Amino acid sequence: MNHPHVIAVLTEIFHTESGVHFGSIHEFCQELAYYSQKQQVMLYVTSLPMYLENDRQGYCWIDGKWQQISVPRAHVIYNRIHSRKTEHSCLFEQLVKKVKDEHIPMFNHRFLHKWEVHQLLSNYHYLQPYLPKTELLTTKTILDDFLEQFPVAFIKPIHGSQGRNIFRIEKTETDFRLDYSTFTKDMVQQYSSTCSLFFSLKERIKYPVIIQQGLSLKTVQRRPVDFRLLCHRIHGSQWQVTSAIARIAQEGQFVANIARGGDIVPLSSLLRQFYDKKTASLQKSFLKELALEVANALANEADGLYGEFGIDLALDHDGKPWIIEVNTKPSKQADTSTATQAIRPSAKAIIHYCLSLNKQKKE
């Protein structure tokens, strides 16, 4: 059969007793496969080593399971390699060269870490009001500077995800309190000076981190709230917000990631808890517009092709919106509380963007 549209999904493949498994995007790949079939698109899953060794082999969803078969050449690649290490390997360099030589569009080009994202967005002056002050934490002077300006600061690994390994520093009248996202509340440690605090941080952190202005976020029952807006490219510089949810941090947690036990609610219903109907809808429009501006700015500024961003926004106590961070490999874990067989809008958006890239290539 001659396929006009062939999409390859590049990810980590695990071999288990019950067959191949695609890790955190396993269910999502199935949704991509279902929707591809509806759209007369051929979709297969492969891994970096597998694709480089033989780009005519891949896993296809046939008769209710993933089967390795011969496949045609891919027209578009959806890069969902999750290991940063893999993306820094020679194999990945080979891949970038190969797809460039063969004119195969690949998105997202690669993982963008937190410091890169901040620097790229800083080039857009009009986004400045919504970017919390951020620096690469390299010296004690920077720590001093932040704690002088802000009562609270966060320290985050530049390669971190899912709210892991985040430190929260709070300046009180007498000391500095250090809280850590991976443990519970009673792990708070106290330091009498920024000197001892910096020394302790240096002992514990062996990877590059950013320090970020702490924001006093809006809360529900004293639990901080943030928002995840999933954005997909339609074509050119046109983007859409495919899903918008609010995340409420778990009791005693200062990060709202679901992976850290937070709750998810629809964006609109959460905003209605804060505002009257009209203001809620205004805030929602603005959050969506801001997310689209961020997506467009980042896609313009970063090298390579990007088609999907998970954009984390929040509102502070005064209702001012802030850009918390941008994820280039947004989570695809199915929301277990509302598990359904439906194909998520984000799976459809990915397929549509692949189709638009393929069409563009032909023009």
Partner 1 sequence: MNIYALTIQNHGENTVWLPSTAPLSGQTDIAFGSVSTSCQIVSSSALNNEIIITKDVAERLRIPFANRIHLFLDEDTIYIGPLIGIFTAGFTKSSIRPIGKRSFFFAKLLSNEKKVGGFAFVFGAHHIHWDKGTVTGYFYTKTGWEQHEIPFPNVIYNRLPNRRTENETMFQEIKQKLKTEYFIPWFNENFFNKWDIYCLLQQHPLARAYLPDTASPPTIEAAQQFLDEYQQIYIKPANGSLGLGIYQLIQRNNSYYCRFRDHQGCNRLQKFPTLSDLWGKLLADKNMELYILQQGIPLIEVNGRKVDFRIHTNKDEHGIWQVSAIAAKIAGKGSVTTHINNGGIVKTVEEVFPKKEEQTKMTERLQHAALTLSRCLEEQLDMMIGEIGFDIGIDQQNNLWLFEANSKPGRSIFKHPKLKQYDELTTVLSLEYAVYLSKQMITAPEALLT
Stretch that binds partner 1, among 6-14, 134-142, 215-223, 319-327 (CB under 8 A): 319-327
Stretch that binds partner 1, among 21-29, 180-188, 219-227, 318-326 (CB under 8 A): 318-326
How many amino acids of this chain bind partner 1 (CB under 8 A)?
21
* Binding status of residue 285 toward partner 1 by CB under 8 A: yes
> In angstroms, what is the minimal distance from the CB of 287 to partner 1?
10
Stretch that binds partner 1, among 149-157, 206-214, 223-231, 314-322 (CB under 8 A): 314-322
Contacts of 186 (CB under 8 A, 6+ apart): none
What is the number of residues in the chain?
A: 363
Two structure tokens written together for 238: 């046109």
Among 34, 180, 191, 286, binds partner 1 (CB under 8 A): 286
By CB under 8 A, the residues from 238 to 267 that bind partner 1 are 238
Residues 176-195: x where in contact with partner 1 by CB under 8 A, - otherwise, as a string: --------------------
Nearer to partner 1 (CB atom), residue 92 or residue 306: 306
Residues 36-55: x where in contact with partner 1 by CB under 8 A, - otherwise, as a string: --------------------
User: Which alpha helices (DSSP H) does the chain contain, by range?
Assistant: 26-38, 48-53, 84-87, 90-101, 114-122, 140-149, 194-204, 267-274, 277-301, 345-362
* Residue 285: CB atoms within 10 Å: 10
Closest CA to 310 of 178, 175, 114: 114
Stretch that binds partner 1, among 88-96, 189-197, 258-266, 313-321 (CB under 8 A): 313-321
* Binding status of residue 363 toward partner 1 by CB under 8 A: yes
Nearer to partner 1 (CB atom), residue 233 or residue 260: 233
Contact 54, 84 (CB under 8 A): no
* 42-46 and 6-10 strand pairing: parallel
* Binding status of residue 282 toward partner 1 by CB under 8 A: yes
Q: Is the dihedral of CA 6, 7, 12, 15 positive or negative?
A: negative
**DSSP letters of 86-130?**
HHTSHHHHHHHHHHHHTT--EES-S---HHHHHHHHHT-GGGGGG
* Binding status of residue 277 toward partner 1 by CB under 8 A: no
* Residue 230: CB atoms within 10 Å: 24
* Residue 38: CB atoms within 10 Å: 10
> In angstroms, what is the minimal distance from the CB of 189 to partner 1?
33
Residues 117-136: x where in contact with partner 1 by CB under 8 A, - otherwise, as a string: --------xx-xxx------
Among 40, 122, 219, 279, binds partner 1 (CB under 8 A): 279
Stretch that binds partner 1, among 72-80, 83-91, 283-291, 333-341 (CB under 8 A): 283-291
* Binding status of residue 214 toward partner 1 by CB under 8 A: no
Q: Is the dihedral of CA 73, 75, 78, 83 positive or negative?
A: positive
CA–CA separation, 18 and 226 (whole Å) = 38
**DSSP letters of 14-45?**
EEETTEEE-GGGHHHHHHHHHHHHHTT-EEEE
Among 58, 157, 163, 321, binds partner 1 (CB under 8 A): 321
> In angstroms, what is the minimal distance from the CB of 320 to partner 1?
7
By CB under 8 A, the residues from 82 to 121 that bind partner 1 are none
> In angstroms, what is the minimal distance from the CB of 125 to partner 1?
4
* Binding status of residue 237 toward partner 1 by CB under 8 A: yes
Contact 58, 12 (CB under 8 A): no
> In angstroms, what is the minimal distance from the CB of 128 to partner 1?
5
Contacts of 277 (CB under 8 A, 6+ apart): none
Nearer to partner 1 (CB atom), residue 193 or residue 238: 238
Q: Which residues are at the interface with partner 1 (CB under 8 A)?
A: 125-126, 128-130, 236-238, 279, 282-283, 285-286, 289-290, 293, 300, 319-321, 363
